[in-house]
Amino acid sequence: MNKGRKKVNEENSIKGFRSRLHRHVMNHSRLWIVLIYNVLCFLSVIIMTRLLPVVLNYPPGYADAGKSIGSSIVLRQFLSSILGSVLISIILLAVLRDLHNWKDAVNNKDHKKIEQIRLKCLSAPYRIYTIQIFVATMTVVTMVSLFRLTNRSTIYVRIPFLVFSIMSLFSVFSYILSNWIFKQVLIETYDGHGLQGIRFGVKRKIFIQIVPIFISTVLFTSMIGYSRLIEEKGNIYSQLFMNKLEHSLNDIDSNTSYDTIKQKLFDIEYSENNFSTFLITDDNKVFTSNNEDLDNVNMHYINKSKTEMQGRFYGITTETQGVFKKIPTNNGTIIAGIKYNVASPKTVNYFIGCFLALLLLCIIVIYYFSRSITSDISLVAENLSKIAEGNKVDLDKKIPIASNDEMGELIIAFNIIQELTKDNIKSINEQQEIILEKERLASLGQMIGGIAHNLNSPIMSIACLIDTLKSLANEYKDSIGDTDVTDEDHIEIANEIIDCINKISPQCSYMSNIISNVKLQAVKLNESTTENFTIDELIKTLNLRINHNMPDKSLVIPLIQVDRSLQIQGDINSLVQVLANIIQNACESYQDDYGSVDFIVQKEGKNIKFIVKDNGRGIPVEVKSRLFREMVTTKGKNGTGIGLYMSYSTIKGRFGGDIWFESNGDNGTTFYITVPYVSD
């Protein structure tokens, strides 16, 4: 029991430490990034300190040898690390400027500042990475220009390659670590928006992380292999030339002259022309077969005891080395030796050629590898976007599974989601048909109620007039043969009958108009076609309609603020009928006065917005709430109210749009209609 409680306490303490560390990193993200880069910089210097003697073939006792030319290798490395750390800190503080204020921006809900910080977090890892690669490249160029050695030495190639390799690895690891911190900031500052900043695809991310590692691996392997080659070749050459030196000077004694010794040295031959002989007299005069003096590093090793150096000396690296022999004479001790070069430029050229070939092959393989990954991801993302945006997508066409890994699992999950989406859409369509049917029945009930309401008054009037006609007919019948009824009475009865008939006629015309309009709308509803038409086609058709039917005193001012090639899906005649009806109502709102109607077409999000605005008589308050729900009219006996009632049903049902209005008493009315346009 106690062990279990102790284990739980340990886990809680670890979680608490991680939580505190995470908060501290988030609150001081810029300082942590600078710290990480500096730590990596010093680690790189330490690694280089360990690798340089091996990779560059430093000779034994190279630290003391460096002092002989007035330069300390350790000091140079220390100064390089300090310089690198300062440069990195300056670059990071410049790139990450204002990043530490992200917490304040989130607390203050400063969306503009948050957006700037997010853009910086998204781009900073790549900007820093690019700067590092640029610095590494410039370092290579600078060091190549500084190390101007003879063409027989390969140090001018190996040092830049080593620096470039380590800095490339440094860039990759720093990118990974800093990207983790930036990712945490992005998570904390996420405000629901979509993609921001420059898009950096997975394919590029794979390239910038794998290619530098490959380059560094190949270069390290090649340079270590070459350094081992130089070491083994140097051992063979030292044995070979030591034997030649011993054989050439085996008959020398203390009385032999300098000229004789020089001649014996200069007569030494070898198949390769990569060596020279030298003689150092007791007064430190140097004679060489190629007239090139020995440098300070050579003399440093030669002046050591033969026992300590075993008769060998070196240059700055073991690519240049030699053997020597101290000969006692009557005038003192002279030194005879052979200096040779074990560098192999051809091998380096072969390494470079193979490296470039492997690099090209690696790039091709990584390209197709990343493409195989991103193609599946892109396909899934594209189909998900289409489903989310409501675009047409074949839900029966599944993505084939071509791999038994995480990508395969992703595709399986997408296919399941697609199948569920298909079932949901089918269910929604079925429910929508039910709802539409209910709406149609409700609309039919409302329309029948409206028709009954509108026909009730004329029918009652006609019924009263018919009763009057019956009374007049009976009166006229009873008057036949009555001598008291004069001709004037007959004429009066006839006039009353004619008056009733004249009153019945407009009521019948009114009922006929209502029935004809309802029949026309019903026929259009059944015969409507669904196809794509452009804004330009709509405007031209509408112009023909309104130019023929508009009052003479009205002026329609069109203002088309959208691309006329945009398309709308539906029945063009239905939309023209709706717009023409609203425009005609706007013109008639001026009654007998002159007036203008603004007809504006705008793009609003994914919809086309039609605006019809007049400055005529507005819509009464008591009519506003019933305008689209009942067949009401503000025109008295000249209107039926069917137009706006059916317009509402048309826009909602056939186009999936919306229609509403704003009216301010006598200051005019503005109608708004929005319908979705067809996306490419």
* Model pLDDT, residue 671: 92
pLDDT at 674 over 90: yes
Which residues, listed in sequence order, are joined to residue 677 by a DSSP beta bridge?
A: 568
* Model pLDDT, residue 149: 47
| CA distance linking residue 547 with residue 277, whole number of Å | 111
pLDDT at 73 over 90: no
Helix axes 487-527, 642-655, angle to 10 degrees: 10
315, two tokens: 């240059």
The more confidently predicted of residues 314 and 476 is 314
498, two tokens: 């004619």
DSSP string, 90-150: HHHHHHTTTGGGHHHHHHTT-HHHHHHHHHHHHHHHHHHHHHHHHHHHHHHHHHHHH----
Q: What share of the chain is helix, strand, coil (3-state, %, to 5)?
A: 65, 10, 25
Residues 509-546 pLDDT 10s = 777 766 766 665 555 555 556 688 899 888 888 886 77
Which amino acid is it at 591?
A: Q
Q: Is the pTM of this model over 0.85?
A: no
Nearest CA-CA partner of 116 in 90, 97, 129, 131:
97
pLDDT at 138 over 50: yes
Nearest CA-CA partner of 260 in 242, 221, 287:
287
Q: Are strands 607-614 and 567-570 parallel, antiparallel or unpaired?
A: unpaired
Nearest CA-CA partner of 382 in 329, 418, 426, 419:
418
Give the least confident one: 13-22, 367-376, 641-650. 13-22
pLDDT at 640 over 50: no
* Model pLDDT, residue 122: 77
* Model pLDDT, residue 308: 62
Nearest CA-CA partner of 620 in 657, 665, 577, 568:
665
Nearest CA-CA partner of 651 in 615, 595, 608, 603:
608
Nearest CA-CA partner of 628 in 671, 676, 674:
671
When the pLDDT of each residue in the chain is averaged and rounded to a whole number, the result is 75
Mean pLDDT computed over 559-587: 86
**Residue 447's pLDDT band (boundaries 50, 70, 90)?**
low
Residues 234-257 pLDDT 10s = 899 889 888 888 888 887 777 777
Which residues, listed in sequence order, are joined to residue 609 by a DSSP beta bridge?
A: 602, 674
Helix axes 202-248, 29-55, angle to 10 degrees: 30
Helix axes 155-188, 29-55, angle to 10 degrees: 160
Q: Which domains does the chain have, with CATH numbers?
A: 2-200 (no CATH), 233-347 (3.30.450), 528-680 (3.30.565.10)
Within 224-266, strands assigned E span: none
